[in-house]
Structure 1
């Protein structure tokens, strides 16, 4: 089951809704429907209208979060950093960059534009209320007030120096001007985790109403740790090419081999996936998972070409090792074939990349 659903694209970037968004939207709609004016629609007597307006407010809030993320993405694209997708999660959105901005100035610009955009939306909504004079006791007035209040709150919250929020990224950029990038990341992550601890403690003392603080603290803590690991991995692989770590002596299997023969090869060679050749050319890739789907009694009469994956993910020897890790992670595969023109040049596995990261880490400590 996929964890996110594509709903469209902006600037050529796929926009996705994570399953956590679908879970939180009814809760947000309920909180808006039950909230007192001007923070909610509880004064409206019709319950259906209350929850309808609460749902619309929730959708508008996440639309504003999307604009926040598009602002990040726009500045990233202007600085030649590719964005693979924008995903709306439980507590906001994430613009997935295909590479970590190593220029501190670029990272700071990408990070700060999001909160500034949210604050600008909030100010614009507030100005609309003032200019039009719409009472904040009416449904439209409450809706505009909510967008004013929540966008300004979103901008201020995101600018706090707690990694991996936008303010934490600005902090890392400033630190990276004075120390190595990994050290700057670790200090920024430390501040993020300390902020998460503080937020969690505040939530504990607030009783039931502090449950949201605890949940947000948990997500900040986990996200900070994941970002730290991702950044260190990216930096460790900086400058490493696929040709440097790929296995060049590749064992292959003919497409006409039976699955029984294929299993025997896997047992002898101790590998669970092999490129498949057909008339001397790459035709696909076969793994233990592919073979296991066929009943044991049918493996003698079933051939590799019947079960192999023909849509093979490939790389070139001069591609970055970080690109290989990204493809392996995104496609959830264990290995990627390396091609040099029409020639099979090698194969690179997750194990090869992990070994390279460990060796780079050991060399950096010398």
Structure 2
């Protein structure tokens, strides 16, 4: 089942809706419909009209979130960064970028572009509302006025919140760009992530005495900062190596006709969690322990490896960068990839363990 589907393209970028967006849409609409002014439409009109206005407000709000992400993406494209897609989901919008530029000036502009769009939208809405209400006085008391006031307020809050100096908000990337102009990229990320963690800790303390939601946001910020610090350190360090430097050249394969029961014994003997499936030197697929787990114990003596193996094999060449291999594993949520030569023959296998071992050895040389 696909978790997202494309609804169109803007600036050549596929725009997708995640399934969680379809769930949150009526929830947001219900919140707006059941809250009084100035944050909702309760008692503004009939219940049906209230919900309709709330639904329109929610759709316009997510359109503003889309414009926020397009702000990032437009600047990124100007610097040659490929944008794979923009997905609207439960937490807002997410731009899937090929890679964030390491140039501090470029990253700063990319990071700041999104909040700037939100702030401009919010301030423009308030200005238009003010000018129209000054000419048509009754307009200030209408649900339409309320709708645009809500949109203006949320956009300003969205813009300011994203400028907080903590990952995964845009402000964390702005802060890293500032640090990166004065030190190497790993150190800059570490310092920016540390500021974010301190900010999260303080937010959590305030949340204990005021609002439980702040504790949840603080947890979200702390995890985001830690993940950005870890992934950046891994990626930048692995960029020094090619796949051939860290892969295992001894490839242990299995036959597609081996039973699952024998496969489990083979795994126990060789201590690996995944193996390429070969027949007459031809690659047929790959089988992992997770594939075996899906087979009921009573069927393991009958079913063969060919019945459960994955035929869509993710592979790369031995001259590929180790950092690209790490990203490939993360994006496909797999623990290993096969390494092939120019003829398509398997020459090695690369696992997350191999990459982490290379990381540890590289850190010993620092």
TM-score tier, shorter chain, comes to 0.7 to 0.9
SS at match of 1:136: helix
Gaps of 5+ in 2: none
- Counterpart CA distance in 1 for 2:169 and 2:320 is 31
Q: Contact conserved, 2:243 with 2:320, CA < 8 A, in 1?
A: yes
Aligned pairs (5 A) from 1:182-331: 182-206=186-210, 210-294=211-295, 298-299=299-300, 301-331=302-332
**RMSD after superposition:** 2.6
Report the TM-score when normalising by structure 2: 0.87
State whether residues 18 and 87 of structure 1, in contact with CA within 8 Å, keep that contact through their aligned partners in structure 2: no
1:1-366 alignment runs, 5 A limit:
4-8=3-7, 10=9, 11-13=12-14, 15-17=16-18, 19=20, 25=25, 28-88=28-88, 90-133=90-133, 135-206=139-210, 210-294=211-295, 298-299=299-300, 301-340=302-341, 341-364=343-366
Query: CA shift at 1:310, angstroms?
Result: 0.9
Q: How many residues align?
A: 359
Query: Does the aligned pair in 2 maintain the 1:38–1:137 contact within 8 Å?
Result: no
- 1:91-139 per-residue CA deviation (whole Å, 9 max, x = no partner) reads 4333233434211111111101001111122233234324544623212
What's the secondary structure of 2:141's corresponding residue?
Answer: coil
* 1:38–1:136 Cα contact (<8 Å) kept: no
Which residues of structure 1 form unaligned runs of 5+?
Answer: none
Point out the more displaced range, 217-226 or 284-293: 284-293
SS where residue 167 of structure 2 aligns? coil
Q: Is the 8 A contact 2:13 2:84 kept in 1?
A: no
Superposition deviation, residue 45 in structure 1: 4.6
TM superposition shift of 1:352:
0.7
| Rounded Cα–Cα distance in structure 2 between residues aligned with 1:212 and 1:56 | 26
SS of 2:140's partner is coil
TM-score normalised by L of structure 1: 0.87
Decide whether aligned partners of structure 1 residues 36 and 243 sit closer, same or farther in structure 2, where only a CA change above 3 A counts: same
Deviations 1:2-35 (A, max 9, x none): 8x5335354334534374x566555543442344
